[in-house]
Amino acid sequence: MFSRLLGLMSSDIAIDLGTANTLVYVKGRGIVLDEPSVVAMTEARGRGKQTLAVGHEAKRMVGRTPGSITAIRPLRDGVIADFESAEEMIKHFIRKVHNRGSWFSPQIVICVPSGSTAVERRAIQESAESAGARKVYLIEEPMAAAIGAGLAVTEPSGSMIVDIGGGTTEVAVVSLGGLVNARSVRMGGDQMDEAIMAYVKRHYSLMIGESSAERIKIELGAASMPPDGGDGPLRSVKGRDVITGVPREITISQAQVAEALEMPVHEIIEAVQGVLENTPPELAADIVEKGIVLSGGGALLARLDEVLREATGLPVIVAENPLSCVALGTGRALEEINTLKSVLSTMY
């Protein structure tokens, strides 16, 4: 009875706790927050660690902080790597969207990678509970992405979703409200950034930061060489010379970025092919008809749909709102919690 009363007075929320960004969906209002999953902490003498900034403000500090301040990304490969900062981040975002007295505890639905372990799932659930949730439900990322992309996940028909996030790529065949076949690979936007950083260091002896690599990926990123066989668009990038230690600027082309991303793209293709190989024939027939749906930030990588189409021989469609698919799907599971209860789980 008391729990039901709290439900009436609090705004239940759904969280897409991503490696790169965290999106928060409030019941009845939709997505109200989209901020980087970054926490800046400072070591206060005699008081331990203190949270200095969260989200956009903290991300601006990455790579620019003095020794006393640390900019932390609490999630790595889609799961919590730093429990304390993750809890602070979740608390901050809940307070930011809730705007009520601290005793009004929301019910929370959080998405988790399909390949996460029981220990990793418990860490996510406990972080949300410590942040003030009265009840926490978990939903697997590919299921949330499929719901957010508008796929009929509860029908006896196969649908295939490929969600390329910051830390993981989730590939799954969904039918009757469950994951028939799924694969989670630790390959996403972060690994693409690292591949670009390694390429620039190898070919130009130039060290560039994560932010510079991410900007190159967004502006020039492509899954294959430019169709005209040329270099494609060019962009300048600044960094530190590995040999002299002096700041320097170079120009990089889309063809070079495509070359740098060859291995990450190949891993994504392999994951898709692996799931297709183990899909029951009846569901495979449905996928031939419907095609593969791409979601997540990685779905925006130029020509990725063409490369996957060529590798699988199947139609490949990019979801309408690829960046918001998981958050929208998690939100819909919250809104329709009674009809979509089969896609949710809890550790207790």
**What whole-number distance in Å separates Cα of residue 208 and Cα of residue 193?**
10
Judge whether 168 is annotated as a binding position.
yes
Is 21 a known ligand-binding residue? yes
- Is 99 among the annotated ligand-binding positions? no
Backbone angles phi, psi at 187, to 5 degrees: -145, 120
Q: Which amino acid is at 50?
A: Q
Query: Is 161 known to sit in a ligand binding site?
Result: no
Which pair of tokens denotes residue 101? 């007295």
* 167 in a labelled binding site: yes
- Is 216 known as a binding-site position? yes
Structural tokens at position 33: 């927050």
255 assigned binding-site residue: no
Amino acid identity of residue 221, one-letter, is G
232 labelled ligand-binding: no
Classify 222 in phi/psi space as left (phi over 0), alpha (psi -120 to 50) or beta: beta
Angle at 195 between CA 194 and CA 201, to 5 degrees: 90
Percentage helix, strand, coil for the chain under 3-state DSSP, each rounded to 5: 40, 30, 30
150 annotated as a binding-site residue: no
Residue 297 assigned to a binding site: yes
Distance CA 21, CA 38 (A): 8
Nearest to 189 by CA among 159, 162, 219, 169: 169
214 is in an annotated binding site: yes
- Answer yes or no: is 19 a known binding residue: yes
Annotated binding site for ATP: 19-21, 166-168, 214-217, 297-300
Annotated binding residues: 19-21, 166-168, 214-217, 297-300
